[in-house]
Structure 1
Amino acid sequence: MRLKGDVLKQIRRKRGLSQTALSEGICTQATISLMEKQNRIPKMNILTAICARLDIPVDKIIENDDVSMTSQFDEISLLIVQKHYDDATERLNKIKVKKLQNDFDKQRYYYLLGVLQVATDQVDEAIFNFELILTQFSTMSANIYWALTTVGMAMAYEKRGNEERALKFLQRAVTLIDEKQLTGGKRQWIIIYRNIADLYLKLKQPNEAIKIANRGINICREDLSMFLLSDYYQVIAKSKVMLEDHQAAIENYEIAKSLLLINDQTENAEALENEIDQLK
């Protein structure tokens, strides 16, 4: 595995960032200097955080036969978002945790395992794995998995029926996001805001759900992405129903339906049409 320091330097300058600005909250300025001048490879969580800040894949600046586990974890994460839990489990089971070479990969592994366990009603196991991340990896640099795991705890406790504890973890996750300079890719931010907004809705906090959903929508707009965009508008629509603002609910459902049709999700769009009809 070889770091392409010259490419890193070019991209950093193109983004208008100094070495100090790129390193802020992630590592030292000297680390960036060593990467650019001596092709020194930092710890994987630092490397991933730097790439996230530059909005580039790791393999953009790494020449290697195995660009950590990033691509595999990203594929598994997408399968979970799409609710293909069996496929996600099969892919995750192929990864041997004892062979993972750095703590960041282990952090991501246990997070995805915990999310899958929540989705498949293995709540106690999920809480165990989330707690493992929050204790064992608490000294790592502030990456988005810190907040994602905290949201995962909220998801687990909501599924267990402990709404008070779920809300506590959810609020803690939002505080982490607002007060810490967490590093993460655009897709991860879109996922975490969708999960938070959805949980606030389940916990009967419609105004908070709308606020968080709008954060996610703004990221989608900035990135010209339609990823989970329909989900956000559905959360807002359901929140408006809870607030008894049926006209606003219909408007947001219509937007969500249009986005589903654009993405050829006809069956899901028809389900939203039924929701709209019930509000008219």
Structure 2
Amino acid sequence: MYGLDINFLNDRPEYKNKKDIPKPASSGPSLEDPKPILIGAAAAVAVNGLVAGGWLYLNQVNTKLQADLDKLNGELSKLDAQVKNLEAIKEKTKTFKAEAKALATVFDQIKPWSALLGEFGSLVPSGVIITSIEQKEPKVSAPVPSKKSAKKGEKTETPAPSKPTATLSFAGTSDSYGQINDFLLLLQSSPFFQGEKTKLITAAKKPNPTRLELRESNSTLAPEIPELPPIVEYKIETNLSPLGASELLPQLKSKGAIGLVDRIETLTKKGVF
């Protein structure tokens, strides 16, 4: 027997309309055309080449920069060593300057007794005798700390007091009060002493301790021995001048302190003073 297959779909109107719709033309590349593939491969190769070339260039630049950095680090190490040497030299220079300043200060504070005795010899009036001289060194006081202002809270430096100097006491005798007064005025005007601190401590008349004696004679008459006039015992106190030896060079020269003057002049030429 024969089977009869009848397709009734073709007779339906909606199916006929679907069959009549044209198929869209494909716009994509065809596998049969190799040009797009070759172009893409060439572009990929070019991009990879550019990346590789850039990497090689950057690697070369980095190598050169590293070499320059190593060179600069080496030079910096040398400079650091030189800076340390300079710092050491500066510290030694500071030490030498401090030592020279301390030595100069010692010399500048010296007032040799040869010059002081020469000054006494030129100041002591006729009729005045110095029987004793006593020197007392000053007491060293602690430095005064800086004070703070109560209003602004700022530090105000306290003015440094004048440096204390040694105190000298003169004791002796004189024929009159007027001679002692003259001696006091001459001491006050001397650059070796402080005029405002030169003062008369005591002055009093005393019997003259000197006794006259007569030589032996054949005369039976005993002449009267005259009594000497009374004397004035005094005590004067003063302080050495705060002026340094470098400020008293003319006076030191005139009093014969040549050794100290030469040292001061040498230190002045070297720039210490």
TM over 0.5: no
TM-score between both structures, scaled by the size of structure 1: 0.19
- Structure with the higher strand share, 1 or 2: 2
- Structure with the higher helix share, 1 or 2: 1
For the pair shown, the structure with the greater C-alpha radius of gyration is 2
